[in-house]
Structure 1
Amino acid sequence: MNTVMSYLRLILFFGGVLVGIQVPTFVDQYGKGLASHYAESERSLDAFRDEAVRHFDGDMDRLIGHYRRSGDQVFEEGGDSIEVIYRRNRLLADQLADFRANPLRAYAQAFFTPVPDVQAEVRNDFSYAIRLDPGAIAFGMVSGFVLSVVGELLLRLLAALVLPPPSRTRTAR
């Protein structure tokens, strides 16, 4: 039984390491996806920003308001479209700044408060890779250790519940 437990512990440790070293890669790919969506939204706004600079001192909200008050249904709907692009751009800019603020925030955002469509794209297109930088190695080792300890504790608990206690024989003195 000890041999089986040793192998299970090793399997859990290496499984944890393999999963753990994927986490920094996922966070990196999420950051790159976030940056590319932001760059695309910047390009989408360029022409409208030029209009806002020429006519409204660069104020996008005034440009959007002008479109909405034009009295022409097409321009009014265009104002709605510009606002959607503008709000998306502001969201991506804020999220990207938060992501780049520090590594802990990057990890927290990628897993707990992501831009949903960016995270979904990264999940769907995730390319499993082994990054052997110090952060990935450390994250993998810690993940492997935690998984093997938790797994062993669960296996010992299960064994204690299922298996009868070992009989103890008394030795004569």
Structure 2
Amino acid sequence: MSVLLRYVMIVVACICLLAGMQLPHLADQYAKRVDATLREVTLNFQPFLIIANQHTAGNVEALIAMHRQSNVAAFKAEGDAIERMYQRKLRFEGEAKALKTHLPGRLWHVAFRADADLREQTLIQYNATVPLTQDALITGGVVALLMLLLLEAAMAGGRRLQAVLTRQINHRWRGAA
């Protein structure tokens, strides 16, 4: 049984190593998607920024307020559209800033704080590779080590539980005789 268990542990370690090696690549793909989206929204927002520079000293909020205060319904609606685009630009600037950190910080951000739509798109279009970068190898090794430690702890707990149950059953068995 222990030989089979060792082979199972080796297989688990290999799977975790390969899965862990994907994490830096996934974070990189997400960062590229954020960058592309930020570039697109910045390009689309550029004309409004030029108008804000000409008429409101670069104050985008003042430009939005001017549109909303207009008596013309189309200009009021345009104020809402400009604000949505501006908020989207600010959101992706925040995403890009959050991703400019160390690898564990990027992985944490992608896992728990990322833009849900972009993360979903990244996962849908993700192609698994086996990158042989230092980050990928270290991350894969850490994931494999953590999983093996968790499995070892679970097996030790199972052995301890088995020993306690065996003692209780043997005690009751002897007491009944």
How does the TM-score come out when normalised to structure 2? 0.86
Q: Which amino acid aligns with 1:47?
A: P
Provide the residue aligned with 2:51 in structure 1. 51
Report how far residue 158 of structure 1 moved.
3.4
Mean CA deviation greater in 4-13 or 142-151: 142-151
Provide the residue aligned with 1:152 in structure 2. 152
Report how far residue 69 of structure 1 moved.
0.9
Q: Indicate if the aligned counterparts of 1:12 and 1:151 stay in contact, CA closer than 8 A.
A: no
CA distance in 2, matches of 1:151, 1:21: 20
Report how far residue 74 of structure 1 moved.
1.2
Provide the residue aligned with 2:70 in structure 1. 70
1:125 corresponds to 2:115? no
1:15 corresponds to 2:12? no
Report how far residue 161 of structure 1 moved.
4.3
Q: Which amino acid aligns with 1:37?
A: T
Q: Indicate if the aligned counterparts of 2:24 and 2:103 stay in contact, CA closer than 8 A.
A: no
Report how far residue 97 of structure 1 moved.
1.3
Matches of residues 1-173 of structure 1 in structure 2 within 5 Å? 1-158=1-158, 161=161
CA distance in 2, matches of 1:37, 1:136: 25
* Structure ranking higher in helix proportion: 2
The percentage of counterpart residues that share the same residue type is 21
Runs (5+) with no aligned partner, structure 1: 166-173
Return closer, same or farther for 1:110/1:94 CA change in 2, 3 Å cut-off: same
Partner of 1:101: helix, strand, or coil? coil
Mean CA deviation greater in 81-90 or 102-111: 102-111
Mean CA deviation greater in 146-155 or 20-29: 146-155
How does the TM-score come out when normalised to structure 1? 0.87
Q: Indicate if the aligned counterparts of 1:9 and 1:152 stay in contact, CA closer than 8 A.
A: no
CA RMSD of superposed structures (Å): 1.7
Deviations 1:7-54 (A, max 9, x none): 111011111101100111111111111111111110110111111112
CA distance in 1, matches of 2:114, 2:29: 13
Runs (5+) with no aligned partner, structure 2: 168-177
